[in-house]
Amino acid sequence: MSNNLAGKNVVIIGGTAGIGLAAAIAASDLGANVWAAGRSEGHIESAKAISNGKFEVRQADTHDAEALEAIFKEVGTIDHLVSAAVGGERTLKPFLEQTEDQFKAAYDKLWGYGKVVRTGAPYLAEDGSITLVSGSPARKINPSQSALSCVGASVENMVRCLAVEMAPIRVNVVSPGTVDTAMFDWMGDEKGGKLSAMTAGHLIKRAGSSEEVAAGMIFVMQNNFVTGTTVDVDGGRILS
């Protein structure tokens, strides 16, 4: 049976931009009480403007247990806990050309997700869920993406471990392909062209939207029979 999100408490860390923000909007549109959090004032302000008072926006870093706990305490009982934060610095270079510190920095995503789960667990409803975000490099290997691949695979395996250890709480992961979000804003005016080139060889020859990935997150939140699962929303990336 799928559950109705109306009146449920949904917390999305990494919810002030991109995929997390799209999930916040989608959950709120379905009647959930939503708290979305991120670090920078810029994203917080734009998320508040988009929210227009329909959901709460707070400041927290996945690495700051105190800030996370303050939000979780405010919420009280969390029905669905999500972390969609980027959370680490990835170096896109061959493994042997990266320093150990660069490689380790990518793992900040995993440590941050771990902190969100560890801090949030005492606040989870008995029939609650946790949703994390990996990425297609977790299972689609390309040169210069070892940091993304290793961390993404670790997030997916952590989800399987948590699903076993925390049952009946459900724990799932959504794996996006190439999605047009602020993550690629560093490309500036070339973003559109570069994303087209990056996705030209994919089965669906375009970048995905945050809303398409958010739909996968809503699916795992709502379906009470889904746990330990990886949902690929990637335009067929891992088969291309």
Ligand X SMILES: NC(=O)c1ccc[n+]([C@@H]2O[C@H](COP(=O)([O-])OP(=O)(O)OC[C@H]3O[C@@H](n4cnc5c(N)ncnc54)[C@H](OP(=O)(O)O)[C@@H]3O)[C@@H](O)[C@H]2O)c1
Residue 19 or 25 with smaller CB distance to ligand X: 19
Q: What angle do CA 188, 25, 176 make, to 5 degrees?
A: 55
Span 22-81, contacts to ligand X by CB under 6 A:
38-40, 43, 60-63
CA 197 to chain centre: 24
Q: Which of 130, 169, 171, 179 binds ligand X (CB under 6 A)?
A: 179
DSSP bridge partners of 133: 174
Residue 40 or 144 with smaller CB distance to ligand X: 40
Please report the beta strands in the chain, taking only residues with DSSP state E, as ranges in sequence order.
9-13, 33-38, 56-59, 78-83, 124-133, 170-176, 230-233
Q: How many residues bind ligand X (CB under 6 A)?
A: 29
Q: Which of 70, 121, 153, 183 binds ligand X (CB under 6 A)?
A: 183
Residue 14 or 216 with smaller CB distance to ligand X: 14
Q: How far apart are CA 146 and CA 138, in angstroms?
A: 9
Question: Phi, psi at residue 218, to the nearest 5°?
Answer: -65, -40
Residue 89 or 228 with smaller CB distance to ligand X: 89
* Residue 142 sits in the site that holds ligand X (CB under 6 A): no
Q: Which of 20, 114, 120, 235 binds ligand X (CB under 6 A)?
A: 20
Query: At closest approach, how far in Å is the CB of 33 from ligand X?
Result: 19
Question: Phi, psi at residue 184, to the nearest 5°?
Answer: -105, 10
Question: Phi, psi at residue 36, to the nearest 5°?
Answer: -115, 135
* Residue 91 sits in the site that holds ligand X (CB under 6 A): no
Query: At closest approach, how far in Å is the CB of 135 from ligand X?
Result: 3
Which residue, among 209, 218, 235, has the nearest Cα to 18 in the 3D structure? 209
* Residue 14 sits in the site that holds ligand X (CB under 6 A): yes
Tokens at 222, concatenated: 């709502």
- Positions that interact with ligand X (CB under 6 A): 13-20, 38-40, 43, 60-63, 84-87, 112, 133, 135, 176, 178-179, 181-183
